[in-house]
Amino acid sequence: MNLSRIQPLRLSLLIAVSVMLIFPCLSTSSSDPVRFFLMGDGKISIRNEHNGREATVNLLDADGGFSEKALDAIDGVFGLSGSRKGEHISLRLLLILDYFSDRIAPGKTIHLISGYRSPAYNQKLKKSGGNVAKTSTHLDGMALDFYLEGIDGKLLWEVIRKENCCGVGHYGGKSIHLDSGRPRFWQAATSKVNTRESEFNRKLYLSTENDRYRQGEKVRFFLTSLSDFPFGVRKTATLIKDGGEKSDATALTIQGQDDAGCVAINDRDASRSIYATLPAGLGPGRYRIRFDFCKRPFEQMPATTLSNEIEIVGD
């Protein structure tokens, strides 16, 4: 018997089993695709440093879905009111947070400094001279400021920004800002929080609830980093395949009542409740969705925008 071949085989099996135990979300036993590109093991421990509220939960159910009970507990730590039934802190944010904390400080508590902010509270902070953006992603439950005990903030910022997956800022010290908005990075010297750059909806961002979908599934869209309402979205959006030709573009119908083909977005709730159903015969691959705007309140507001990248998976 060739013992030299047995040892590598045992090592390979050990690695494979370890990966399955650490990342159960990668299991294919569920009929649903793995919903996000970046995911940790789902286990997260987080503490609000202002009021002491904390939660240690597993975001994933046994079948690979997401636990409503765990999300409710996280919402409480972030300060998202339970009155917003069916709404949670951004899943993409939580899974990105879990992914990086597992890489950098596995098992350590995440110390939250700032979580969800209501528009009124955000304005109060801004008026009091805080380093707060009018269009902050905190308003949409898509951001947190946090630190990991014993981990240098600059190092944490460097690791995350290299992934180009999200928004990450460092103002010095041990804490950083992380959000699931447009991929970008900044430091104190390059922050544009106190400028007027985000006015007139110039920095709006279109994102999907998940990263992966099956053909024929309903997609929820979010328009965030908005400074002003109302405005409209054209009834017909466009699916654009990455690396494809113009002929690969597919029409996508936005749900909801429209006025001459323009769906009204009157407030923040409406901007988070935009839906469309993917075509049943859509081919597998990577896509982005283009929204065209109508009834724009300012000429400075973009006429169109592209979403984050999504992946369509086959059966």
**Final residue of a structural domain among 164, 190, 216:** 190
In a domain, 36, yes or no: no
75: which residues sit within 8 A by CB, 6+ positions away? 82, 88, 89, 116
Average pLDDT over residues 56-70: 93
Tell me, yes or no, whether 207 and 174 share the same domain: no
**From 16-25, 37-46, 272-281, the region with the lowest mean pLDDT:** 16-25
**Confidence tier at 134 by pLDDT (50, 70, 90):** confident
Largest CA distance in the chain: 77
CATH number assigned to the domain comprising residue 302: 2.60.40.1570
**What per-residue string of b and e applies to 103-120 under the rule 16 or more CB within 10 Å gives b?**
eeeeeebbbbebbbbeee
Tell me, yes or no, whether 177 and 258 share the same domain: no
Tell me, yes or no, whether 156 and 47 share the same domain: yes
In a domain, 267, yes or no: yes
In a domain, 33, yes or no: no
3-state secondary structure of 232: strand
CA distance 180 to 286: 19
Tell me, yes or no, whether 84 and 170 share the same domain: yes
Tell me, yes or no, whether 203 and 185 share the same domain: no
Tell me, yes or no, whether 207 and 297 share the same domain: yes
Tell me, yes or no, whether 49 and 154 share the same domain: yes
Q: Which residues pair with 233 in a beta bridge?
A: 263, 293
What pLDDT, on a 0 to 100 scale, did the predictor assign at position 7?
Answer: 43
**Final residue of a structural domain among 156, 190, 224:** 190
Domain housing 271: 199-313
In a domain, 14, yes or no: no
**From 6-10, 136-140, 270-274, 300-304, the region with the lowest mean pLDDT:** 6-10
What pLDDT, on a 0 to 100 scale, did the predictor assign at position 122?
Answer: 86
In a domain, 287, yes or no: yes
Tell me, yes or no, whether 65 and 167 share the same domain: yes
Tell me, yes or no, whether 183 and 74 share the same domain: yes
Q: Say whether pLDDT at 256 is over 70.
A: yes
Burial class (CB in 10 A: 0-12, 13-18, 19+), 166: buried
CB 77 within 8 A of CB 52: no
H/E segment holding residue 147? strand 143-148
Average pLDDT over residues 177-200: 88
**Final residue of a structural domain among 158, 173, 190:** 190
pTM here is 0.87
In a domain, 218, yes or no: yes
Per the model's pLDDT, the better-predicted residue between 139 and 63 turns out to be 139
Tell me, yes or no, whether 178 and 159 share the same domain: yes
Q: Say whether pLDDT at 101 is over 70.
A: yes
CB 66 within 8 A of CB 72: no
* First-to-final CA distance of the chain: 42
CA angle 266, 268, 271 (to 5 degrees): 75
In a domain, 241, yes or no: yes
Number of domains comprising the chain:
2
What's the mean per-residue pLDDT of the chain? 88
CATH number assigned to the domain comprising residue 65: 3.30.1380
What pLDDT, on a 0 to 100 scale, did the predictor assign at position 131?
Answer: 73
**Confidence tier at 211 by pLDDT (50, 70, 90):** very high
CB 206 within 8 A of CB 223: yes
What pLDDT, on a 0 to 100 scale, did the predictor assign at position 31?
Answer: 64
What pLDDT, on a 0 to 100 scale, did the predictor assign at position 191?
Answer: 82
Residues constituting the chain = 315
In a domain, 256, yes or no: yes
Tell me, yes or no, whether 174 and 281 share the same domain: no
Strands (E), 5-97: 43-48, 54-58
Report pLDDT digits (tens) over 21-58.
334 433 334 467 899 999 999 999 999 999 999 999 99
Tell me, yes or no, whether 94 and 211 share the same domain: no
Report pLDDT digits (tens) over 81-97.
765 666 899 999 999 99
CA distance 262 to 187: 39
Report pLDDT digits (tens) over 142-173.
999 999 999 999 999 999 999 999 999 999 99
- C-alpha separations of 178 from 44, 94, 171, 251 in Å: 16, 10, 12, 33
Q: Say whether pLDDT at 3 is over 70.
A: no
H/E segment holding residue 238? strand 236-241
